[in-house]
Amino acid sequence: MPHFFSGDELGAIKSINYTQGANEKEWKASTTVVVPGSSSGRTKTIQKVAVQTSDSSTLLAAARADGSASLYKVQNVTEISPVHEWSEPRMKEGQRFVGLAAINGGVFSCTSNGALRHTKLNADGGEPTSSLATLPMRLCEWRLSSDARTFAYGGDEVELSLWDTEEAFSTKVNASEPTPAESKKRKRSDQLLPGELWRAKNLPNDHLSLRQPVHNTALTYLQPSTSVAHQHLLVGTANGSVRRYDTRAARRPVADWKGVGKAGGISTVEKGFHEHEVFVADRGSTLAALDLRNGRTIYSLAGAVTSVAPTGSLMASAAQDRFVRLHSTFAPPAEPGQQQEHKGDVLDKLYVKVTPTVIVWDGVSAGASGSTEEAEAEDEVWDHMQAVESDSEDEGKTSRRKEKKTRTA
């Protein structure tokens, strides 16, 4: 059954486990507070949560508004134990965590002022160690690739950028504000920083020949790549656009879908488990499934969403109305532009007392959705297979029917 972790404004982490009822649309949630919240207001707000699952264990990382971060080991769906805690002293007042990723043996964290940290666990049980790096400031989102070889970021007047993870920690970058002369020189040269593999280029000037502002608010990797420098990325912007980038094809987006976000710009973009599927939420009340082949909305789901967590043919969302919802999801049509036969629905609404800020799937429990997809795939294979001669009873009946038709003719 699907299992999620959510963080809230008071710093609590909840374990949410779903069980399916008598029919496929009947789901029930059970909630356990695995990390209690703080009584000191929103200073402990959970800003990012990440999960890493391996054959031996599941690790859960959480980053808070006061600059502290924690790593836990998941014992079961109702119990976690602390492994390591640390703080990010480079994060100042008014800044926040914009990225968190847990990998086998460590955690990556990044703040809006470019403080990048790699916390590495000691296999012998000793004290963990940290490696530091500095990125440009005014970041809004940071993501690590699935193989941890690259990461990407974007922000307010910060173009989408792709970096080599190892190189980023082996070189030093001065993140202080550049002087006007230095800023103009950098813009003219578009010179990559040490460790930087690729950087997007701003869109052409508008119809009044005015420069278009850069404000990337959300991003995600679309698919794994064997080449470090070749990545497919999706970005949401403050003006409600969703842009797709292919780092090998061009520095400007290969697709620019305008008006996807209706209010306040794009807050979240997440790749779905179906092919050509991505989920996009704005800062109003729009949560939509998009077809990556043409950027069209396949169907919309309700909720002023702060975070989404897809898993198989299900997805959980955390919203500002203090509800955690479980949604059903369906694959885009076989051909782009075709009418969508099935649309997502809300299977369960769980009210929580404190506004949830982030939700993640545990990476293990997919529930009935995974088995349903496997069954559908298996049925499709059997439908396309040609019948062969057999000694079975059914084949015998088929042969007798053919013989009967021949005699009648």
Average pLDDT per 10 consecutive residues for the chain, totaling 409 residues: 94 95 87 91 93 87 96 90 95 96 94 97 85 96 96 97 96 53 51 95 93 96 89 96 96 95 93 94 92 94 89 93 94 88 90 96 67 43 44 43 43
Q: Please answer whether residues 160 and 152 qualify as being in contact, where contact means their C-beta atoms are separated by less than 8 angstroms.
A: yes
Q: Please answer whether residues 37 and 355 qualify as being in contact, where contact means their C-beta atoms are separated by less than 8 angstroms.
A: no
What integer pLDDT is reported at residue 226 of this predicted model?
A: 84
Residue type present at position 261: G
What integer pLDDT is reported at residue 187 of this predicted model?
A: 52
Q: Which residues contact 93 (CB under 8 A, 6 or more apart)?
A: none
What integer pLDDT is reported at residue 104 of this predicted model?
A: 85
What integer pLDDT is reported at residue 301 of this predicted model?
A: 85
What integer pLDDT is reported at residue 173 of this predicted model?
A: 54
Which stretches of 27-175 are assigned E, i.e. beta strand? 27-35, 46-53, 58-64, 68-76, 79-87, 97-103, 106-111, 115-120, 129-134, 139-144, 150-155, 158-164
What integer pLDDT is reported at residue 340 of this predicted model?
A: 84
What proportions of the chain, in percent to the nearest 5, are helix, strand and coil? 15, 45, 45
Q: Please answer whether residues 365 and 19 qualify as being in contact, where contact means their C-beta atoms are separated by less than 8 angstroms.
A: no
**Residue 105: exposed, middle, or buried by beta-carbon count in 10 A (0-12, 13-18, 19+)?**
middle
What integer pLDDT is reported at residue 388 of this predicted model?
A: 41
